[in-house]
Amino acid sequence: MHKLMVEGGRQLRGTLRVSGAKNSAVALLPAAILAESPVTIEGLPDISDVGTLSELLREIGGEVSQEDRTIHIDPSEMISMPLPNGRVKKLRASYYFMGAMLGRFNKAVIGLPGGCQLGPRPIDQHIKGFEALGAEVTNEQGAIYLRAEKLKGARIYLDMVSVGATINIMLAAVRAEGKTVIENAAKEPEIIDVATLLTSMGANIKGAGTDVIRIEGVERLTGCLHTIIPDRIEAGTYAILAAAQGEEVILDNVIPQHLESLLAKLREMGVMIEMKDDQLYIRPPERMKSVDIKTLVHPGFPTDLQQPFTSLLTNASGNSVVTDTIYPSRFKHVDELTRMNARIRGEGGSVIVHGPSPLYGASVKASDLRAGAALVIAGLMAEGTTEISGVEHIERGYENIVEKLNNLGANIWYEEMSEIEKEQFQNS
């Protein structure tokens, strides 16, 4: 078990290449289950969620091989093997095995997914969608059993906009008989990416990226080659970091249009941003202005950037109000930032960041992936050294974070935890 050590106060400069999108990759890999011949996916991020999904694909009989960033998945020998526990609990996206296995085999048995603990994360809308398509869904001792004679297209209105439910219903519906319409669908770029892969496999999908998706079921899907879009959340995290501690940082392999809400907020704070093709140039101002943020469904401010952005706000002059309407209790990073001298207090469902307040290195715990990113940013901004435990959360979603940041001039390294630290971590 190791911890991440971050020396604060260094100015960062140089070019950082953004990896393939985690939230696309984790849906694209299960989507390959639906094909009858090999699927090749390029631009894979090297993160633990991808490794876990590759193992799950192997567990159900998939032949999976990887060379560098390209994965080949041969789904032809797959069977609907129950996946009640184990790896399924390591990540959120294991829920995509429900839609994909239901779509291919008309049955699936899968444990409830894990992923970041951000407050309640029900999957009732996924189940509502599967049932509308004709599946019988039961929860037996913590595993979800899905069975259908034959899936039939349906009109499904999502009670709330859900990324996972939208993708899962698409996966189940592409081989169903007839037409499916998903209303109040999520519009995230990752949904378009999954629809692009499925379309290359032979699916008939219209409207991905809008709030009404229409799918005409087809009998079979075949393998294809697909390249994953860049990770807008990784790019956003590093853009925030560059605004906090950069001299002049260039982010490479970015789709700036995917980051409009973040870039608008950074500009409001006075950060200089230039876009050129797939690159972003970021320079912080002398003095940063406070801003309020409220997370919303895409294209609103993404909840996954709320925690990293809170770290940046500690350096802004004035009071900033942060509200998360997607996960109203996604604030576990706040106590840790407070240990580092941030002045943040809760009010109603929001937190108010009083800035600027200098941060000081401390021993802190990453409770989830983006809390981890928030602490890395805070550690780089702080005076002294910060020790971050809970590194496994960060490794779920950030490829080679140590190498990428050290290439910009940071000083970050892993250290093995002492026995006492391990015990304290496990009991905290």
Ligand X SMILES: C=C(OP(=O)(O)O)C(=O)O
Ligand Y SMILES: CC(=O)N[C@H]1[C@@H](OP(=O)(O)OP(=O)(O)OC[C@H]2O[C@@H](n3ccc(=O)[nH]c3=O)[C@H](O)[C@@H]2O)O[C@H](CO)[C@@H](O)[C@@H]1O
Ligand-binding site membership of 257 (annotated): no
Whether 128 has a binding-site annotation, put simply, is: no
User: Pick from ligand X, ligand Y, none: which does 367 bind, CB < 5 to 8 A by kind?
Assistant: none
303 interacts with ligand Y by CB under 6 A: yes
Q: Which of 175, 179, 181 is nearest to 158 (CA)?
A: 181
Contact call for residue 298 and ligand X (CB under 6 A): no
In the bound state with ligand Y, the residue whose beta carbon lies nearer, of 169 and 359, is 169
Residues 73-79: contacts with CB within 8 Å, 24+ apart? Answer: 73/29, 73/32, 73/38, 73/39, 73/40, 73/41, 74/37, 74/38, 75/32, 75/33, 75/34, 75/35, 75/36, 75/37, 75/38, 75/39, 75/104, 76/36, 76/37, 76/38, 78/33, 78/104, 79/105
d(CA 205, CA 222): 15
Q: Applying CB under 6 A, which part among 114-122, 174-182, 217-225, 417-425 lies near ligand Y?
A: 114-122
Do the beta carbons of residue 384 and residue 359 sit within 8 Å?
Answer: no
Contact positions with ligand Y (CB under 6 A) in 309-338: 326-327
Q: How far is the CB of 100 from ligand X (least distance, A)?
A: 17
DSSP string, 184-245: S----HHHHHHHHHHHHTT-EEE-BTBSEEEEE--S-----EEEPPB-HHHHHHHHHHHHHH
Q: d(Cα 59, Cα 73) in Å, to the nearest integer?
A: 13
Q: Which of ligand Y, ligand X, none sits in contact with 201, Cβ below 5 to 8 A by type?
A: none
What DSSP element (H or E) covers 65? strand 63-67
Q: Does residue number 26 form part of the binding site for ligand Y (CB under 6 A)?
A: yes
Alpha carbon distance 65, 73 (integer Å): 7
Q: Based on the shown chain and the rule CB under 6 A, indicate whether residue 332 belongs to the binding site for ligand X.
A: no
**For ligand X, the closer CB: 88 or 132:** 88
Binding mask 130-169 for ligand Y (x = CB under 6 A): ------------------------------x-xxxx----
Q: Which of 19, 20, 23, 249 binds ligand Y (CB under 6 A)?
A: 23
DSSP H or E run through 387: strand 385-389
Q: Is 115 in the site for ligand X (CB under 6 A)?
A: yes
* Catalytic option among 31, 39, 116, 224: 116
Per-position x/- string for 245-284, each x denoting binding to ligand X as judged by CB under 6 A, each - no binding: ----------------------------------------
Of residues 164 and 223, the one with the C-beta less far from ligand Y: 164
Q: Which residues fall within 8 angstroms of residue 291, CB to CB, at 6 or more apart?
A: 265, 268, 269, 313, 316, 320
Q: Applying CB under 6 A, which of residues 3, 104, 126, 393 lies at the interface with ligand Y?
A: 126
- Does residue 397 interact with ligand X by CB under 6 A? yes
123 touches ligand Y by CB under 6 A? yes
Query: What does the alpha-carbon distance between residue 153 and residue 103 come to, in Å, rounded to a whole number?
Result: 11
125 annotated to bind ligand: yes
Question: Is 304 known to sit in a ligand binding site?
Answer: yes
Q: Is 224 a catalytic residue?
A: no
From the list 26, 101, 115, the residue with the least C-alpha distance to 61 is: 101
Q: Which residues bind ligand X (CB under 6 A)?
A: 91-93, 115-116, 304, 369-370, 397
Q: Which residues bind ligand Y (CB under 6 A)?
A: 23, 26, 92-93, 120-126, 160, 162-165, 186, 303-304, 326-327
Summarize the annotated binding site for UDP-N-acetyl-alpha-D-glucosamine as residue ranges. Answer: 92, 121-125, 304, 326
Summarize the annotated binding site for phosphoenolpyruvate as residue ranges. Answer: 22-23
Catalytic center residues: 116
